Amino acid sequence: MKKDNNVIQAVQDALKLDGDPENIKEYYAGWADQYDQELENAYPGPEIIVKVLMESIETVSANGDRFESGPATFLPHSAQIMDAGCGTGMVGGFLAHRGYKYIDGTDLSSEMVEQAQKLNIYRELWGNIDLTQPPADDWQQKYDIVTCCGVFTLGHVPPETLHQLFSITKPNGIVVTSVRTSYFDSQPYERVSSEAVANHQVKLVAQQMNAPYTRDSNAHYFTYQVTPS
Ligand SMILES: C[S@@+](CC[C@H](N)C(=O)[O-])C[C@H]1O[C@@H](n2cnc3c(N)ncnc32)[C@H](O)[C@@H]1O
């Protein structure tokens, strides 16, 4: 059979996970030390999500909303960022390149977090954190910016996980997600997202549809701004 060079087998196998945290942990424990090498030149998602974030910050700032919660909210020298499902730290790398200093990260997989630790760009990192569960009380409304790349994908987390991301974000803060197209087409992400907008929990600041993601798939990127209650 002809080999399809566009397909990265490890990415395809990850899509077959069933959302069970123990299976996800086991899978990424076995991939962590090869992840960056295998995805080099094949996974533009982290770079794109940071680009989308930067454009969204410009949009939000142009609307004046940034100043409601302090003039420096989204600036590199002060923004408090959570990279949720940080993996080996690819998103953190692009944020640090833009000058961001206060980047925390969590992931279910301690082995992925160990790789991220080696980059020396995260302020704090936590493994064994399940994004589908309610966050600790002291994380509520803690972050100016929350990024979540590569996690809204088949076999990983349900769309309702969006609510956990919103809850750790400060009023007027920003949440940016990547959503693999096959996930968007088969899971109720759009419904959960629209309900949060309709309930005035968040504003949808930007959406970039069908943008590059992995070598074998596009993703949609969504930026939300959390509405002050
Ligand atoms: C494709 S990787 C993306 C990692 C990183 N954000 C990136 O873009 O390279 C998916 C990550 O989601 C994490 N993950 C999956 N389910 C999770 C959950 N329920 N809670 C926290 N992290 C989870 C995995 O451990 C893995 O590190």
Residues 6 or more apart in contact with residue 208 via CB below 8 angstroms: 48, 52, 220, 221
Which atom of ligand 1 sits closest to the CA of residue 147? Answer: 6
**Closest residue to atom 17 of ligand 1, CA basis:** 108
The stretches in the chain having pLDDT less than 70 are 1-7, 64-72
Helix (H) or strand (E) holding 151: strand 143-152
Å from CA of 34 to ligand 1 middle: 15
**Closest residue to atom 26 of ligand 1, CA basis:** 87
The pLDDT, as a whole number, for residue 1 is: 39
Binding site membership of 149 for ligand 1 (Cβ less than 6 Å): yes
**Closest residue to atom 13 of ligand 1, CA basis:** 85
Which atom of ligand 1 sits closest to the CA of residue 11? Answer: 1
Q: Which of 36, 148, 156 to mutate to test the pocket of ligand 1 (most atoms within 8 A of CB)?
A: 156
Ramachandran quadrant class, 45 (left: phi over 0; alpha: psi -120 to 50; beta: rest): alpha
* Beta-sheet strand order (sheet of 143-152): 124-126, 102-106, 80-84, 143-152, 169-180, 217-226, 202-214
Q: Which of 88, 107, 112, 126 to mutate to test the pocket of ligand 1 (most atoms within 8 A of CB)?
A: 107
Binding site membership of 46 for ligand 1 (Cβ less than 6 Å): yes
Amino acid at 116: A
Å from CA of 33 to ligand 1 middle: 14
The pLDDT, as a whole number, for residue 72 is: 67
Binding site membership of 90 for ligand 1 (Cβ less than 6 Å): yes
pTM, full prediction? 0.95
For the chain, which residues make up each domain, given as ranges? 9-226
The interaxial angle of helices 21-39 and 110-117, nearest 10 deg, is: 30
Q: From CA 33, how far away is CA 88, in angstroms rounded?
A: 9
The pLDDT, as a whole number, for residue 5 is: 58
Binding site membership of 49 for ligand 1 (Cβ less than 6 Å): no
The pLDDT, as a whole number, for residue 6 is: 59
**CATH topology for 9-226?**
Rossmann fold (3.40.50)
Kind of pairing between the strands at 143-152 and 217-226 = unpaired
DSSP structural state of residue 134 = P
